[in-house]
Amino acid sequence: MSTTKAAPMTAEERKVIFASSLGTVFEWYDFYLYGSLAAIIAKQFFSGLDAGSAFIFALLAFAAGFIVRPFGALVFGRLGDLIGRKYTFLVTILIMGGATFIVGILPTYATIGVAAPVILIILRMLQGLALGGEYGGAATYVAEHAPHGRRGAYTAWIQTTATLGLFLSLLVILFTREFTGPDFEVWGWRVPFIVSIALLAISVWIRLSMNESPAFKKMKEENKLSKAPLTESFGQWKNLKIVILALFGLVAGQAVVWYTGQFYALFYLTQVLKVDAKTANLLIAASLVIGTPFFIVFGSLSDKIGRKMIIMAGLLLAIITYIPNTPVSIFNALTHFANPALEKAMKEAPATITVDEAECTFQFNPTGTAKFTSSCDIAKQVMASNSASYSTIPAAAGTVATVKIGETTIEGYSSKGLPADEAKAKDAAFKKAVRDALNAAGYPAKADPAAVNLPAVLALLVILVIYVTMVYGPIAAMLVEMFPTRIRYTSMSLPYHIGNGWFGGLLPTISFALVAQNGNIYYGLWYPIAIAAMTFVIGMLFVRETKDVDIYAND
């Protein structure tokens, strides 16, 4: 194999690798559409629920696509090691594209009732399964074509696909929103899903034209393929310990930095700082355009100085600059430049909630079935949704929560045991009273477009994306180099998708719960800080550099 791995890439191989990357962009495009349109989909498919529960349920449906990704890694990783990379690619793209198209034509709750959200979540799970089988195959396929000493540079193109897929989805949504105008929330939102059928046709054609990995073909010819990839990957300690190190010493930290820099940044701009959706999406899209070439920069650099050094440096920079209320805090700076009125109000009119702490719960609800009915939980949820930081004052047992904003005090309520109509009326009245008090104290309901410092916000977002490129650009090559060819697809896919599907995919839900629990709009950042710090320590102590590894040595 030494001759194969040392040879430069042929024109045909370069074409095939380009095709692989392009197909993966389309898969990510399909997957990200739902997240970008979660609020609208909530109204269409969960209209039988109140607005708050509908949005949470929609986010959970989004999360469902992430939760099942590791199972897709097991199913398709095994297939990829048994029958080949090319044919597994075809299956994953068909499942992903088909599920996305059906979302675009799926009748709403108003038409078919509860069947609508049930079918939607099933489709999301199918998307997650397909994506779970996609990344490991694409990274493995490209790495096995790359010449020795260039794996970082070549696999970095696969690393761009998630960001390009997000960018493409944002772009299509923006164009469709402009074209359909007020009808976007009625029917226009379906267009980005429906046009994915064209992307599916292109992707299938591309994948049919691909050649099988030369490494896999050689192993098949020599009858060295694994007969039980799952058992060999996870049933033997010598390989399982590498899987565990890959997860906790590399991927978990990479995942939270990735989702903080792309997803949470968008969530923070729109939901916390109340920047209008169009401006926020354009800023994120621009930051992705500027930052994406750095995937290739850091991937190529990792071929020269090593993968581990770059990934760990990215983690450390992220940890330091995520920490709130420090001179280098990026998210404090985003508040300052995107919504200075909110920053001023939090300083000049601090808010408090006086509560019986025994009735406060941690509002993380992964199943979508829990109900938060205490006066404490209701008050905290309303304040968090209004981007209002507050401090908590303990009160005697049985005290009904009260909210104080500036000089105004609002008494809360408990919805436990209340009839639905009465609870709904109290909820509306309480939310209005809180919003009125916030307005009077200078807390803006929306960011003032004229006050948003666009160049400064864009610069901060670009820095967040560059962190993403540092931790993500070299990681595909590193994961490939950690495992032998016969079980590579299976072994690298599972830690990657547990890390990105669970640690990363649940980040917005966990961060919102932390904010509601603590009362500080920056408190959700402690989740990515903690995970990135864990990965940094484990990675520095136990993960070895791989750039000079012979990926065929263990075959």
Q: Looking at per-residue confidence, does 359 or 535 come out higher?
A: 535
Q: Tell me whether residue 551 is in a domain.
A: no
Our count of domains for the chain comes to 2
Is residue 472 included in any domain, yes or no?
yes
Same domain (yes/no): 390, 431: yes
Grouping H, G, I as helix, E, B as strand and the rest as coil, residue 265 is helix
pLDDT greater than 80 at residue 200: yes
* Paired tokens of 544: 């070895």
- Using a 10 angstrom Cβ sphere, with 0-12 exposed, 13-18 middle and 19 or more buried, the burial of residue 212 is middle
Q: State yes or no: pLDDT of 5 exceeds 60.
A: no
Shared-domain flag, residues 53 and 92: yes
Structure tokens at 327: 């001179």
Same-domain check for residues 433 and 468: no
Look up residue 376 and give its amino acid: C
CATH code of 314's domain: 1.20.1250.20
Percent of the chain past pLDDT 90, that is, above it, reads 32
How many angstroms separate the CA atoms of 29 and 451, rounded? 32
Which has the minimum average pLDDT: 17-26, 165-174, 330-339, 375-384? Answer: 17-26
**CA–CA gap between residue 281 and residue 174 (Å, rounded):** 8
- When pLDDT is averaged across residues 186-200 and rounded to a whole number, the result is 90
Q: 3-class DSSP state for residue 474? A: coil
184-188, 359-363, 482-486, 524-528: range with highest mean pLDDT: 524-528
Choose one of 371, 405, 440: the last residue of a domain: 440
Cα–Cα nearest to 41, from 178, 172, 189: 189
Residue 547 lies in a domain: no
| Rounded distance between C-alpha atoms, residue 318 and residue 406, angstroms | 34
Instruction: Give the pLDDT confidence of 393-452 residue by residue, as tens digits.
Output: 898 888 888 999 888 899 988 888 788 888 888 888 988 999 899 888 888 989 999 999
* pLDDT at residue 229 in the model: 79
Straight-line distance from the first to the last Cα atom of the chain, in angstroms, rounded to the nearest whole number: 10
Domain assignment present for 516: yes
Top-ranked range on mean pLDDT: pick from 78-87, 121-130, 183-192: 183-192
Is residue 552 assigned to a domain?
no
Q: Would you say residue 548 lies in a domain?
A: no
> To which residue do tokens 């309480």 refer?
430
Q: Same structural domain for residues 531 and 382? A: no
Residue 220 shares a structural domain with residue 102 = yes
Same domain, 53 and 93: yes
Structural domain contains residue 553: no
Q: How many Å apart are CA 330 and CA 324, to the nearest integer? A: 8
Residue 333 has pLDDT above 50, yes or no: yes
Rg (CA), the chain: 24
Q: Please, which residues have CB within 8 angstroms of residue 512's CB and are 6 or more apart in sequence? A: 363, 384, 524
Predicted local confidence at residue 57, as pLDDT: 65
Asked if the structure places residue 340 within a domain, the reply is no
Tokens of 423: 């609870």
| Confidence at residue 53, expressed as pLDDT on a 0 to 100 scale | 61
Q: Which two structure tokens, joined as six digits, stand for 181? A: 């105008």
Mean pLDDT lowest for which of 21-25, 168-172, 256-260, 286-290?
Answer: 21-25
What amino acid occupies position 394? P
The answer to whether residues 384 and 458 belong to one domain is no
* pLDDT at residue 366 in the model: 46
Report pLDDT digits (tens) over 292-332: 999 999 999 999 999 999 999 999 999 999 999 999 999 99
Ranking 64-73, 152-161, 313-322, 368-377 by mean pLDDT, the lowest is 368-377
Look at residue 381 in the predicted model and tell me its pLDDT: 82
3-state secondary structure (DSSP) of residue 258: helix
Question: Are residues 279 and 225 located together in one domain of the fold?
Answer: yes
Last residue of a domain, one of 412, 440, 468: 440
DSSP string over 423-474:
HHHHHHHHHHHHHHHHHHTT--SS--GGG--HHHHHHHHHHHHHHHHHHHTT
- Mean per-residue pLDDT of the chain: 85
Are the C-beta atoms of residues 495 and 543 closer than 8 Å to each other? no
**How much is the pLDDT for 286?**
92
Residue with token string 């696509």: 65
Task: Report the 10 Å Cβ neighbour count for 413.
Answer: 19
Q: Which of 440, 469, 485 is the last residue of a domain?
A: 440
Same domain for 144 and 18: yes
CB 206 within 8 A of CB 23: yes
What is the extent of the structural domain holding 409? 348-440
Together in a domain, 270 and 408: no
| Dihedral sign (CA 321, 322, 323, 329) | positive
Which among 26, 27, 19 has a CA at the least distance from the CA of 131?
A: 27
Does residue 291 sit in the same domain as residue 416? no
What pLDDT score does 357 carry? Answer: 83
CATH code at 422? 3.40.30
Q: 195: burial class by Cβ within 10 Å (0-12, 13-18, 19+)?
A: middle
Both 200 and 81 in one domain: the answer is yes
